[in-house]
Structure 1
């Protein structure tokens, strides 16, 4: 691990307390994983000018690109309120399919377009702006605000948040609560707060047979029959009925292949890959054991198979509803007029790493266009998220001060 030294930069031509202008500036940095592309340098400049101590550690892993990240903190006392996010974005795909340049951050009819505008530079910018405004208004406020900003969330997620958290912990940093700015809302800013995430486990199933001529099936053993039998057994009984805060776990076959171009040949092997999104009734270990049990029972002594599970760091977790979750919901309701639902739906996020260090909830802009062509965010949503975050910070530190 190395730390990137502070670089000199020309003065900003916008006020970073403006979430729209800050979002535009971040989007204009083409930080496709794992490229930094100037986006962390910009954040460092913004936060350092507001009094934050800023670090930009770079983490490495054999066979993977180095990734630069950012940690910043203002204040020296607890409680420590952490804002987390990522600045890397997915590739634009076919740039010709975009109706606006993907890194131009164009605003038209109240909508800001660009790769990362929704996922999640817009959310991060709004929260940075809110923190800046709060500290400008309350320079002697108790407690500390910190930012954990990763550079590889959209990639392998190996040299980003998971190592940044360990790095900060080894430096003596301790966190009380975290707000992760992923785009959680399906349609409106009042829709949803994420209080947990399902885990993810991928299995690779191979059924072995004996290749032969279709006209002489007694001399062959068709593995497709065995594969159908095993997959049916995995799908026959639900894994569970869900829990208080989680939907039922679901297994989905994502690919099935025999690699056989001939119509008169019984293949030698059939392969399938499946993914399970599981709730808090399971761990990767207990779930793998259940899958193995079902396969053994279905295979009996007739189906020859192999099962392999890919390594996973995606475990199910829940931030139990309590004072902090209620405080976030109160801030959303105060600004939008509607109380958001508490949800654990969707894919994985870096919250799965943060939960080991402090309670974490996720809240951000509307996520309908994430990873799409013409990704965008409503300007009104950026302004709303800034107000919600500002209100949350004010209530959080006021409550801690009273306590």
Structure 2
């Protein structure tokens, strides 16, 4: 195991005992969810939404469904109101998953939903993040029973459009509630070594570059080939030198990646249009405005050195800021304390990938983005999650929620 006991746990003992009693039920619900294929953008989300809604309905846990602006299902939202007014705290876990990939490479079915002899729950989404969704449903039922003595409210968001990158559930949530009263959020991504308290931001763009259409067999010289111009643009981007982290600032460097190049159709036509997709990870030394300016200068360099009849263009796709909490900020402090009391030696960490925490940062909602069970095969073959310390992880989150809803801040 990667975690160890750190001291007395008397404060967390009651919720740990409750979590231990609920382990069979948490595993049963998680298995039901893993059994239902819910690949983002591939599978119909209705079956998994209906499964969660039935579980909540059977236990009289108040919930409602959220939709995208065009009416597509986006999430299930659980709302528990305390006995006195106060801020809202959020637990978040996704119900959709990554694709299966090459199923012939799996040693078990991606929807096996079984528990191995070594105590691993197996199948796509077991780690990311159906075990967390099951834990949070059980926490909702527990907090509902304790609600009269608590302050503020608890919202549990179960998203079915996270792995597409659309984050429709989180967006629908922010549209459906008063985000000004949300004091913080905790996302149930897996991994028991760290509590993730920050992440690089992201700026994504498609760069459109142009050429002059013609026949590849023409005796006339080619004026400008969009495909070769796109290749030159990708090289210019790859050669860019980005600023280094500032001393005492955000700990990770910015990063630029060319992710796609599209151009042409067949062998006989000179392409007149190409698209280069770019992903830029943002920090305090490279904000979105800096990233866009960098791209603008690069396409200007291309157009000057390798001119075409039409200038290249930037199509902005997505922009989220970086964020970083202090370990003493809530809800990070409450979750770190809960983890320590439950026997985990965790450290605060700033993550390289972006996550829903970056979206929440646009609304000034402080977010932790990871503390959960150990796992293997995340987004790859043979995804599975270790259930040995399930009760301890659930107790850590339960303790954190009670701390936040008893103090009101």
The alignment's TM-score, normalised by the length of structure 1, stands at: 0.78
Alignment of 1:283-322 (within 5 A): 283-300=287-304, 302-304=306-308, 305-312=311-318, 314-321=319-326, 322=328
Counterpart secondary structure, 2:388 = helix
User: Out of 48, 55, 59, which is 1:39 matched to?
Assistant: 48
Partner in structure 1 of residue 254 of structure 2: 249
- Relative to 1, partners in 2 of residues 1:296 and 1:50: Cα closer, same or farther, differing over 3 Å? same
Pick from 388, 392, 396: which aligns with 2:400? 392
Residue 179 (structure 1) shift: 0.7
The one of 268, 271, 275 equivalent to 2:274 is 271
Change beyond 3 A, Cα 1:51–1:255 = closer
Q: Please state if 1:168 is matched with 2:184.
A: no
Task: Check if 1:152 corresponds to 2:158.
Answer: no
1:226–1:203 Cα change, 3 Å: same
Indicate which of 217, 237, 240 corresponds to 1:237: 240
How much has 1:223 moved relative to structure 2? Answer: 5.8
Do the aligned partners of residues 19 and 296 (structure 1) sit closer, same or farther apart at CA in structure 2, a change above 3 Å counting? same
1:249 positional shift: 1.9
Distance in 1, Cα, partners of 2:104 & 2:238: 41
Q: SS of the residue aligned with 1:202?
A: strand
- RMSD (Å) for aligned C-alpha atoms: 3.6
Whether the 8 Å contact between 2:203 and 2:291 is mirrored in structure 1 is no
* Unpaired segments ≥5 residues, structure 1: 1-13
Quote how far apart the aligned CAs of 1:378 are: 0.8
1:146 match: secondary structure: strand
Question: Cα 1:38–1:139, aligned 2, differ >3 Å: closer, same or farther?
Answer: farther
Distance 1:208 1:182, change over 3 A: same
Q: How many residues align?
A: 376
Deviations for 1:96-149, whole angstroms, at most 9, x for unmatched residues?
544333334100121001221111111222233345446657863333222122
Distance 1:230 1:94 in 2: 32
Q: TM-score, normalised by structure 2?
A: 0.77
Of 116, 123, 130, the residue aligned with 1:114 is 123
Q: Does 1:198 align with 2:198?
A: no
Tell me the equivalent position of 2:357: 351
Distance apart, 1:384 and its partner CA: 3.4
Is there any run of 5+ residues in structure 2 with no aligned partner, and where?
Answer: 1-20
Do 2:227 and 2:273's aligned partners in 1 also have CA atoms closer than 8 Å? Answer: yes
For 1:157 and 1:79, how far apart are their aligned partners in 2? Answer: 27
Report the more deviating stretch, 46-55 or 376-385: 46-55
TM-superposed CA distance for 1:241, in Å, is 1.4
